[in-house]
Amino acid sequence: MKCPICTSDTTAFVDQKPRITYHSCLSCGYIFKSPEHHHDFPAQKARYDLHENDPDDPGYRAYFQRFLDYVLPMVPVGGRALDFGCGASDLLASMLTEAGYTTDRYDPIYHPDSAYVSQSYDLIVSTEVFEHLDDPLTTLRHLRDRLTPTGYIALQTQFLPDTREAFLDWYYRLDPTHIGFFTPRTFAVMGKLLGLRVVGEEGVNKVVMA
């Protein structure tokens, strides 16, 4: 099977306990589940509804604050922002508003307002979204096309462990709705394909592109 990001060859391997087949790209490092293991929107929503994301929980706010503390020093203050794949919560959008951005939200399940497609954004954020996508390159291209000429895209998703053994022991892949897993190189390759450059990457789960 070819990599859906860079079209390079992949190798297949199987997690023997749940019998899930994964494909690992030999070039960009992307690992993805075989399509037969993907879930439709109703099944995904049933999983997402289990998340307990209380905006009054100091820990939940601190989680987003760490993301913003990394991202915001790299980008201009103010302008228009989009929280893409916001889920049921408006907390990150509210925090961006507090930071001086006029902020829109979009989520295909919880906030399916497509008015954002007619806007241009100085900052697009997407946290814990890309691991759910079956075609991340197309989604990133879609976000790029919503940017102003000087805009930024900031993403958060856990980067892959260094070894196959560590991957098979990794908590992050156990969420059944997580179907794609990235390395920093994966994002660099996507950026090159789309005319974006990586301006920040902290090695764990955050990357900023412009």
Q: State yes or no: pLDDT of 22 exceeds 90.
A: yes
Q: State yes or no: pLDDT of 5 exceeds 80.
A: yes
Domain chopping of the chain, boundaries: 10-209
CATH class, range 10-209: alpha beta
| Residue 173 burial by Cβ neighbours in a 10 Å radius (0-12, 13-18, 19+) | buried
DSSP state, residue 131: G
End-to-end CA distance of the chain: 30
Answer yes or no: are the C-beta atoms of 28 and 3 closer than 8 Å: yes
Instruction: Give me the pLDDT at residue 166, please.
Output: 97
Q: pLDDT digit string (tens) for 174-190?
A: 999 999 999 999 999 99
Q: pLDDT digit string (tens) for 79-102?
A: 999 999 999 999 999 999 999 999
Stated pTM of the model:
0.94
